[in-house]
Amino acid sequence: MTLAHPRTRIKICGLTREQDVDAAVEAGADAIGLVLYPKSPRYVTPQRAGELARRLPPFVTPVLLFVNASLDAIKAAVDQVPTATLQFHGDESEPDCLSAGRPYLRAARIPLDEASPFDLLKFASEHPQAQALLLDAHVEGYGGGGKAFHWSRLPPSVNCHAVLSGGLTPANVGDGIVQVRPRFRTLAVDVSSGVEASKGVKDPEKIHRFVAAVRAADQLLAESPHALLPAT
């Protein structure tokens, strides 16, 4: 069900500073994430999101992250970043996600406790118009908190695009790509705390190492397709 050797797309999330946007672009990121959730340490206002997004060159996508936001709040941010893809991390239904009229990603919060059930196939069926499901760890509050869930818990075959998130670092992203890609139509990756010097402050060297690790995994799979682990 996967494409033959697709390039893994990369999103660097939780950007708050101009130099971090520039570092993500320089490293080759496909998208940047701007957090519009006031309780997050990486929160930016709609106006600030617009300022950061306007630094982007063509073909790098700004993504606006919301948690149970009102339609007015979503529209205020979209007014500042009209080309944005939206990312929903709360309890939003599909009508909520579609209300702003923009492409959207829906976060699926996978429990860390293996005894806690989560039906990803049912969740996917509830968001058929999502551009992709973003796979994150379910921790207290919203967002993954830099935690990685057990990738082996994912179903062997889900007919949607996916974005792997939660606890990714330059050291483990390659393994994540190899283990998770076979289960979905395509796979992208999303990192925040794994490339930070401190919360909301990115480390350019870590960003470059993360991107290099993703490209190395892509190269490995292009040269050795059998490296993809069987879905279990």
Backbone region of residue 123 per phi and psi (left: phi > 0; alpha: psi in -120 to 50; beta: other values): alpha
| Local structure of 111: helix, strand or coil | strand
In sequence order, what are the beta bridge partners of 186? Answer: 161
Residue in the block written with tokens 């470059």: 208
Contact 156, 180 (CB under 8 A): no
Q: Phi, psi at residue 158, to the nearest 5°? A: -130, 120
CA atoms within 13 A on the CB side of 59: 2
Which among 13, 30, 96, 190 is annotated as catalytic?
A: 13
Query: Is 160 an annotated catalytic residue?
Result: no
Which among 30, 136, 160, 190 is annotated as catalytic?
A: 136
174's tokens = 């390659």
Determine the Cα–Cα distance for residues 206 and 44; give it in Å rounded to an integer: 22
Q: Phi, psi at residue 11, to the nearest 5°? A: -120, 130
Tell me, rounded to whole angstroms, the distance of Cα 131 from its chain centroid: 12
Determine the Cα–Cα distance for residues 214 and 178; give it in Å rounded to an integer: 10
| Short-list 174, 180, 195, 160, CA closest to 11 | 195
In sequence order, what are the beta bridge partners of 202? Answer: 196
Query: Is 136 an annotated catalytic residue?
Result: yes
Residues identified as active-site = 13, 136
